[in-house]
Amino acid sequence: MFNINQILEQAVEKEASDVHLILESKPMCRVGNVLVRMEGAPVLKEKDMYEIYNYMINGNNIKDKVFQNTKKLDMIYNYNENNFGVNISSSNQIPTYTIKILNNEFSTYEQLNLPDILRKMTYNKHGIILVTGQRNSGKTTTVNALVRHINETQNKKILMLENCIEYNHKSRNSIIIQKEIENDYETYYDGIKNAIKEDCDVLVVEEICDRKTMEAIFEVAEAGILVIGSMNTLTPSKTLEKIKSFYSEKEQSQVEYSIKNLIKVIDSQRIIEGKKDEKELVSEVLVLGRKQENISLIESVAKLYIENKITLKQAKAQLEKSEIDEFNNKIMKMRIFQKKVNVWK
């Protein structure tokens, strides 16, 4: 029998982010941005793919029914004190697997070195906080760090709508209810529409990718709920473009009104390689209506360079050629300010 646990152990040792199991291929894992073949693993055959399926499902009829009806399934698998987010899909009627290695410990707001404006925005009674970025950019980690901060510092009822529950929160100063799409609600839209009836103060929406979901979020935010959501967009400007693209040309004034009055902040982030192969978080922040609190990509990269967390080459790799002069000026101003601070001390 194919030993899936041995493969997962290897992936954890390599500090991989994902494992890919595909028919007629050796198991592969993603380390950084590179796909690496698993050492000593056999080529996966059809029999192996079904053995893995039966092992993962473990006789759970509900999960089996979901997969048979939709040809996709998200679930959490626990092994050797590690948590794994398992996505099962179908290729030519045969199961195929993408397994995400989850952090077992919650990162705090401080540990992630998130922009302080995000923490401040969690105290709003209503509105929308958007955390965006491409896949593997740490969006889920950031959102859960914000939830943890609210849970530890505020008295709120938090409703979390997730594709697959990766982190299990325990209620502290706040009450936290976590629900899975497909298991608890058929769609995000259904869960969002019910949020007002559930009397929640904070609503977390893991994925915003269509007009119906966006409209429901605007509605509950206007009704007095703080919404924290994530989108797969690279920058704040791309995020706004994406939201506007959900609407026709005639409806642009309507969506612009909602954006202006309801979206409080957009944090677009990416993970980059730093010194000694450390991963560093870079944020570009747009605070709507408060331009002075915006944080540009250039500013974030310059800050990491000044803090000696990335090299000059790594810094410039994140920027366009047209941005290099502004980056150099930013570095010079930061160094002058640093010298003044040292003198004052």
| pLDDT mean over 26-50 | 90
Structure token digits, residue 258: 């909602």
Q: Is 13 a domain residue?
A: yes
Q: pLDDT grade, residue 340 (50/70/90)?
A: low
Do 55 and 204 lie in one domain? The reply is no
| pLDDT mean over 40-52 | 93
Q: Which residues contact 246 (CB under 8 A, 6 or more apart)?
A: 210, 211, 214, 255
Do 63 and 126 lie in one domain? The reply is no
Q: Is 307 a domain residue?
A: no
Number of domains in the chain: 2
Residue 13: which domain range? 4-102
Q: pLDDT tens for residues 197-254?
A: 999 999 999 999 999 999 999 999 999 999 999 999 999 999 999 999 999 999 999 9
pTM: predicted TM-score of the whole model, two decimal places: 0.81
Give, to the nearest 10 degrees, the angle between helix 236-245 and helix 252-262. Answer: 140
Structure token digits, residue 77: 């698998």
Among 68, 102, 136, the domain boundary falls at 102
Could you tell me the CATH number of the domain that includes residue 122? 3.40.50.300
Q: Is 131 a domain residue?
A: yes
Name the percent of the chain lying above pLDDT 90: 69
- Residue 294 pLDDT > 60: yes
Give, to the nearest 10 degrees, the angle between helix 252-262 and helix 211-222. Answer: 50
Do 122 and 59 lie in one domain? The reply is no
Q: pLDDT tens for residues 144-156?
A: 999 999 999 999 9
Helix (H, G, I), strand (E, B) or coil at 22: coil
Q: pLDDT grade, residue 345 (50/70/90)?
A: low
Q: Is 313 a domain residue?
A: no
Give, to the nearest 10 degrees, the angle between helix 324-344 and helix 297-306. Answer: 50
Name the percent of the chain lying above pLDDT 70: 98
Helix (H, G, I), strand (E, B) or coil at 128: strand
Q: What pLDDT score does 228 carry?
A: 98
Q: What pLDDT score does 143 carry?
A: 95
Do 19 and 69 lie in one domain? The reply is yes
Task: Give the residues across from 242 on adjacent strands.
Answer: none
Q: Do 192 and 168 contact (CB within 8 A), yes or no?
A: no
- Residue 15 pLDDT > 90: no
Rounded alpha-carbon distances, angstroms, from residue 344 to 182, 303, 339, 341: 58, 21, 9, 5
Helix (H, G, I), strand (E, B) or coil at 192: helix
Nearest to 313 by CA among 334, 294, 327, 332: 327
Do 98 and 113 lie in one domain? The reply is no
Side-chain-facing half-sphere of 218: CA atoms under 13 Å: 16
| pLDDT mean over 109-132 | 93
Give, to the nearest 10 degrees, the angle between helix 61-70 and helix 46-57. Answer: 130
Let me know the angle formed at the C-alpha of 196 by 192 and 197, rounded to the nearest 5 degrees. 110
Q: What pLDDT score does 107 carry?
A: 79
Task: Spell out where 199-296 has E strands.
Answer: 202-205, 226-231, 263-273, 279-287
Q: pLDDT tens for residues 261-281?
A: 999 999 999 988 888 778 889
- Residue 343 pLDDT > 90: no
Could you tell me the CATH number of the domain that includes residue 94? 3.30.450.90
Neighbours of 181 (CB within 10 A): 20
- Residue 183 pLDDT > 90: no
Q: Is 154 a domain residue?
A: yes
